[in-house]
């Protein structure tokens, strides 16, 4: 256990009062129902980690020492998930955005539950309620607070292999490196590398969720200096569903493609994902964007991916016309249009870039501007 007398360096949430206060603002009704039962409740995992770092959070993991019946009686709207470790999932409607709350019921010790976590920075807990009120100490049996201060990812328990237990944690490792900028302990990295081949067998929905968070990270450009190659290339290729490993040449192109993806807005990780995987696909001779589209994206996400592929193909062909109604619709849609134009323009030989830009301006003048004028006239007459 680690004493909790001061906020973590770099964070803005004092401990424990600040953490408890911010959680109460987000999941106050949930905590109130648990407190009526006087059940021991701890906050664990990513929410506690982000609170200590002063980062925003959405999902909250709680651990409760109680029976399933006690929890279910207080939350009839919740749903039980998980077979090995049952957890109760519900939505808190406090604030502008809902907060997903997962309540794990334990009968044994809290340390045993924390030992099952993926990394030490997620294997900490803070007492929120129960007889005697919040505890005065952070439950930290695996040194997570020290790793959090040092910016380090490390498995919590040396007698467990978290990656073979759940291979999605290999992708989570590079995701945390991309979003937090944390380095990886060598022994943990070695274990992750041994389980990398199991990642392709993980459900596509889980891989899609982790990849979108990964491509929303702040550290994409610097990631090759944090996570060694070719481990990074293998993880991203396995997560994307490539049938064969990336070649040495394709792996060498990963840092450039990550830097290219980072140039685009963090507000749209899907576009970053498309930029990266389209470049990887072209580098190994596969259909542009086909791999990314194979993941279980939503209908709107799939439509955007297909539109970007079509637009990039249109630009690379530099078609001279005539242009169909579908072409007009494609070119009128400004969903990252200029970014794709600049991206394709960089692939053209320097001597031909001026001619490429001239051709594109002519296409815009021919197809886009007249239609915009007509649309403006129609909207003005309504």
pLDDT in tens, 165-199: 999 999 999 999 999 999 999 999 999 999 998 99
Determine what percent of the chain is predicted with pLDDT higher than 90. 45
In this model, does residue 55 exceed pLDDT 60? yes
> How confident is the model at residue 266, as a pLDDT?
77
Q: Between these two residues, 17 and 143, which has the higher pLDDT value?
A: 143
> How confident is the model at residue 374, as a pLDDT?
55
Q: Once rounded to an integer, what is the mean pLDDT over residues 106-115?
A: 88
In this model, does residue 91 exceed pLDDT 90? no
Report pLDDT digits (tens) over 281-316.
876 656 545 666 678 999 999 999 999 999 999 999
Q: Once rounded to an integer, what is the mean pLDDT over residues 329-346?
A: 90
Taking only Cα atoms into account, the Rg of the chain, rounded to an integer number of angstroms, comes to 25
In this model, does residue 267 exceed pLDDT 50? yes
pLDDT tier, 373 (very low <50, low <70, confident <90, very high otherwise): low
Domains 1-160 and 162-276 share a fold: no
Q: What is the pTM of this model?
A: 0.85
What residue segments make up the domains of the chain, in order of their start?
Answer: 1-160, 162-276, 302-381
Report pLDDT digits (tens) over 28-41.
888 888 887 778 88
CATH number (3.30.420, 1.10.110, 3.90.320, 1.10.287) of 162-276 reads 1.10.110
pLDDT tier, 80 (very low <50, low <70, confident <90, very high otherwise): low
> How confident is the model at residue 133, as a pLDDT?
47
In this model, does residue 60 exceed pLDDT 70? yes
Contacts of 307-316 spanning 24+ positions with Cβ under 8 A: 307/333, 307/335, 308/271, 308/274, 308/278, 308/335, 308/336, 308/340, 309/278, 311/337, 311/340, 312/278, 312/288, 312/340, 312/343, 312/344, 313/288, 315/340, 315/341, 315/344, 315/360, 316/344, 316/347
Q: What is the CATH number of domain 1-160?
A: 3.30.460.10
Residues 6+ apart with CB under 8 A from 142: 114, 115, 120, 123, 156, 157
pLDDT tier, 12 (very low <50, low <70, confident <90, very high otherwise): very low
> How confident is the model at residue 256, as a pLDDT?
92
In this model, does residue 379 exceed pLDDT 70? no
> How confident is the model at residue 134, as a pLDDT?
46
């Amino acid at each position: 256990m680690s004493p909790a007398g001061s906020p973590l360096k770099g964070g803005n949430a004092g401990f424990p009062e600040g953490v408890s206060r911010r959680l109460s603002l987000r999941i106050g009704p949930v905590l109130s129902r648990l407190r009526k039962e006087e059940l021991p409740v701890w906050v664990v995992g990513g929410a506690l980690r982000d609170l200590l770092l002063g980062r925003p959070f959405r999902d909250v993991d709680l651990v409760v020492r109680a029976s399933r019946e006690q929890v279910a009686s207080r939350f009839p709207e919740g749903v039980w998930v998980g077979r090995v470790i049952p957890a109760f999932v519900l939505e808190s409607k406090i604030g502008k955005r809902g907060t997903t709350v997962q309540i794990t019921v334990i009968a044994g010790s809290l340390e045993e539950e924390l030992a099952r976590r993926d990394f030490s920075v997620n294997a900490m807990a803070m007492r929120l309620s129960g007889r005697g009120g919040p505890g005065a100490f952070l439950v930290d049996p695996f040194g997570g607070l020290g790793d959090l201060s040092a910016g380090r990812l490390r498995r919590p328990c040396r007698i467990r292999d978290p990656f073979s237990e759940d291979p999605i944690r290999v992708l989570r490792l590079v995701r945390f490196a991309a979003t937090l900028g944390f380095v990886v302990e060598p022994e943990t990295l070695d274990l992750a590398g041994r389980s990398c081949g199991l990642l392709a067998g993980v459900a596509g929905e889980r891989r899609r969720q982790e990849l979108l968070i990964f491509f929303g990270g702040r550290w994409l450009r610097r990631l090759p200096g944090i996570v060694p190659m070719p481990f990074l290339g293998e993880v991203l290729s396995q997560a994307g569903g490539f049938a064969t490993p990336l070649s040495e040449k394709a792996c060498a192109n990963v840092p450039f493609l990550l830097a290219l993806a980072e140039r685009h807005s963090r507000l749209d990780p899907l576009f970053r994902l498309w930029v990266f995987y389209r470049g990887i696909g072209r580098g190994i001779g596969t259909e542009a964007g086909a791999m990314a589209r194979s993941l279980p994206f939503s209908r709107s996400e799939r439509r955007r991916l297909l539109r970007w592929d079509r637009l990039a193909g249109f630009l690379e062909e530099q078609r001279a016309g005539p242009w169909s109604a579908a072409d007009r619709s494609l070119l009128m849609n400004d969903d990252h249009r200029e970014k794709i134009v600049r991206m394709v323009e960089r692939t053209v030989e320097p001597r031909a870039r001026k001619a490429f830009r001239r051709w594109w301006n002519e296409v815009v003048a021919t197809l886009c501007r007249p239609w915009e004028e007509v649309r403006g006239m129609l909207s003005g007459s309504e």
